[in-house]
Amino acid sequence: MRGCGNILAVAVPVFCAAALTVSAGSNGNEKTFVAPTLSLAAMQDEGTVVAESTTVTTYTSGGMRGITGPIQLRVADAMAPGTVDFKNVFGWRTLRGNGDDDFSYAAQIEWGMVENHTLLIHLDDLHLGDGRIDGNGDVTIGWHWKLWNEDGGVPATAIRNFVRIPTGDGSEGVDYELRGLMTWTVSDNARFSINPWLRSVNGENDAVFGIDEDGERRILEDPRHFRWGITAGMDYDLSDDFKLIWDYVYSSSVHDGHRDNHSVELGFDWHFAENQSFNFVTDVSVDGDSNDNASLGAKFSYVVSFGG
């Protein structure tokens, strides 16, 4: 009986819609009744049309690719279902007045699970050549959820949730970050995006330790446990395979008592093969002094994609 009820629930609206179909006669006053034709196949086709009409398309920015490189800016679009990106990211940075350059490596896997949802698994930056560092080897798990498409002046919008898991050397605490992604289409090959974020930082991974007058190891600078910031910028397709990206990055300080940070980034994504890309970004501090952010830095990544 439940099955019959389901069939009737579909059959009645279909019948009514068909019964109300009329066509005007030659004199404009005559009405002709069009007899409905009902069948299980017709009802199945009708159900298919309804299902397709409620599907949200993942890509809404004129067919432009997403941003895959190590730049901070991201667009609202999720990865296509069934696609997987494997990313190898190499980094370098230097601080003003500090001759010790820093090198890093990170590995990332990003998977388009279903429509509008992407799973993000990141092995955070491994600091190379600096000995043991708290947090080296931490893993961050994230989830990208596209909420709605662009509609007139309303931007395509998504949110990202990240949780850092203390799997690394001497690591402690669990961090949480909420990031918004809003994207407007400027032209067929250009988009403008804004990414505000909030982060709860737990543990002392970012603390600066030193030796006091008694020879004891203690914290010299406490990490800021609540941080915020925003990234705003554009991506521009020079061709189907080459994208320019630039942005401005504002963030609160990493340590208590420090000023906020400001920097600009310029990079590109180059898809030199169907499933491979080389990506680059350089970031420059506009603060004019040494603080929590690098005075100058650069990253490049090699990405291999599967599926789709």
**37 and 96, same domain (yes or no):** no
Task: Tell which residue, 262, 160, 140, has the closest CA to residue 201.
Answer: 140
Could you read off the pLDDT of 192-232 as tens digits, one per residue? 999 999 999 987 777 666 777 777 777 777 888 899 999 99
**155 and 279, same domain (yes or no):** yes
Could you read off the pLDDT of 270-298 as tens digits, one per residue? 999 999 999 999 999 988 766 666 688 99
pLDDT over 90 (residue 21):
no
Residue 73 belongs to a domain: no
Domain total of the chain: 2
Residue 74 belongs to a domain: no
Residues 29-38, mean pLDDT to the nearest whole number: 42
What is the CATH classification number for the domain harbouring 119?
2.40.160.40
Give pLDDT, residue 4.
40
**114 and 215, same domain (yes or no):** yes
Residue 72 belongs to a domain: no
Report d(CA 246, CA 73) in Å as an integer.
8
Residue 59 belongs to a domain: no
Residue 99 belongs to a domain: yes
> In 10 A of CB 58, how many CB atoms?
20
Report d(CA 106, CA 212) in Å as an integer.
34
Task: Tell which residue, 150, 166, 170, has the closest CA to residue 158.
Answer: 150
**109 and 172, same domain (yes or no):** yes
Residue 58 belongs to a domain: no
Task: Tell me the pLDDT band of 238, cut-offs 50, 70 and 90.
Answer: very high
Domain range for residue 275?
A: 84-306
Could you read off the pLDDT of 55-81 as tens digits, one per residue? 333 344 557 999 999 999 999 999 999
Residue 79 belongs to a domain: no
Give pLDDT, residue 173.
86
**44 and 88, same domain (yes or no):** no
pLDDT over 80 (residue 162):
yes
The last residue of one of the domains, among 53, 70, 93, is 53
Contact 280, 300 (CB under 8 A): yes
Alpha-carbon distances of 33 from 3, 18, 149, 244, rounded to whole Å: 31, 9, 40, 59
Report the 3 state secondary structure along 100-140.
Answer: EEEEEEEEEEEEEEECCEEEEEEEEEEEECCCCCCCECCEE
Report d(CA 147, CA 149) in Å as an integer.
7
Report d(CA 263, CA 292) in Å as an integer.
11
**39 and 151, same domain (yes or no):** no
Q: Considering the chain, what is the average pLDDT of its residues? A: 81
**49 and 119, same domain (yes or no):** no
Report d(CA 196, CA 251) in Å as an integer.
10
**118 and 190, same domain (yes or no):** yes
Give the residue, 219 or 5, on which the prediction is more confident: 219
Residue 6 belongs to a domain: yes
**285 and 160, same domain (yes or no):** yes
